[in-house]
Amino acid sequence: MSFLGRNTILTFAGIQYKNNMKNNISVIAFDADDTLWVNEPYFQETEQKFCALLEAYVPRHIAAQELFKTEMANLHLYGYGVKGFMLCMIETIDRVSKGKASIALIEASIALGKELLQKPIVLLDQVAETLQSLQGKYKLVMATKGDLLDQERKSKQSGLQSYFHHIEIMSDKKEGDYQKLMNHLDCRPDQFLMIGNSLKSDVLPVLALDAYAAHIPYHTTWAHEHTEQVPEHPRLMTLNAIQDILNYIS
């Protein structure tokens, strides 16, 4: 579908969306990584350094594929976050080197992971201003997945905590997880809007529950979060930037 075609459809859908939302929404939940602050570029930078470490055994693109394979195989055991990623780096080193890699490679990978756990929090443009505009009018929630301690650190360092009524660090973002969150907040699906950069985690499960979703594409997305084309849906809108939500609900 052409860029123009898609925009035209979103405009029509947007009218109905805007009217329904204005009347109903009481809770706005925000994804955090790559919606409120920079995250995926840090992971990709670390992954590139990791693949360089393995060059004696496999070309970089193969190392990247092997690492992703390990991550997918372990997701159900480790969940999301840096610590699981570190274990996956170690397992990948062992597999691609057939157990021959020096312990120095393991040490280097642990150092890469620790570096990732201490990256500064860089807010995306207009995040604080947008939260400020919405605070008091809606119940604002942060809904993020990853390691508990790391997400707590990022949330504290972001300086955004005071905008939020509730911060939920989730082990996954599937329909059941959102249903639990809505139950906890005592809110019906038609009162709930989720805003995030991942169609797979922030949009599709929320629409499936008959709630509202706003997608803000980010320039870099983890392969696991990739999904098919953006669906057309009366309760979904696509935003270029976070502050665009104010055109719809404030």
Based on CB atoms, which residue is closest to Mg ion, 217 or 234? 217
Taking the complex as a whole, the smallest distance from the CB of residue 197 to Mg ion amounts, in Å, to 5
Based on CB atoms, which residue is closest to Mg ion, 231 or 234? 231
| SS3 state of residue 13 | helix
Taking the complex as a whole, the smallest distance from the CB of residue 211 to Mg ion amounts, in Å, to 17
What does DSSP say about strands 139-145 and 212-215: parallel, antiparallel, or unpaired?
unpaired
Based on CB atoms, which residue is closest to Mg ion, 66 or 225? 225
Task: Record the tokens describing residue 183, joined without a space.
Answer: 């139950």
| SS3 state of residue 222 | coil
* Buried residues in 50-60 as b, exposed as e (16+ CB within 10 A): bbebbeebbee
Based on CB atoms, which residue is closest to Mg ion, 80 or 163? 80
Based on CB atoms, which residue is closest to Mg ion, 70 or 198? 198
Based on CB atoms, which residue is closest to Mg ion, 66 or 168? 168
Residues 6 or more apart whose Cβ sits within 8 Å of residue 233: 13, 207, 213
Taking the complex as a whole, the smallest distance from the CB of residue 68 to Mg ion amounts, in Å, to 18
- Eight-class DSSP state of 120: P
Q: Can you give the binding site for Mg ion, defined by CB under 5 A?
A: 31, 33-34, 197-198
For 11, other C-beta atoms within 10 Å of its C-beta total 9
> Packing angle between helix 82-96 and helix 40-53, nearest 10 degrees?
20
Query: Which residues pair with residue 144 across a beta bridge?
Result: 169
Taking the complex as a whole, the smallest distance from the CB of residue 201 to Mg ion amounts, in Å, to 7
Task: Record the tokens describing residue 238, joined without a space.
Answer: 């696509």
Taking the complex as a whole, the smallest distance from the CB of residue 117 to Mg ion amounts, in Å, to 18
Cα angle, residue 155 at apex, residues 154 and 159 outer, rounded to 5°: 105
Based on CB atoms, which residue is closest to Mg ion, 188 or 224? 224
* Buried residues in 182-198 as b, exposed as e (16+ CB within 10 A): beebebebbbbbbbbbb
What does DSSP say about strands 27-30 and 139-145: parallel, antiparallel, or unpaired?
parallel
Taking the complex as a whole, the smallest distance from the CB of residue 2 to Mg ion amounts, in Å, to 27
Taking the complex as a whole, the smallest distance from the CB of residue 111 to Mg ion amounts, in Å, to 25
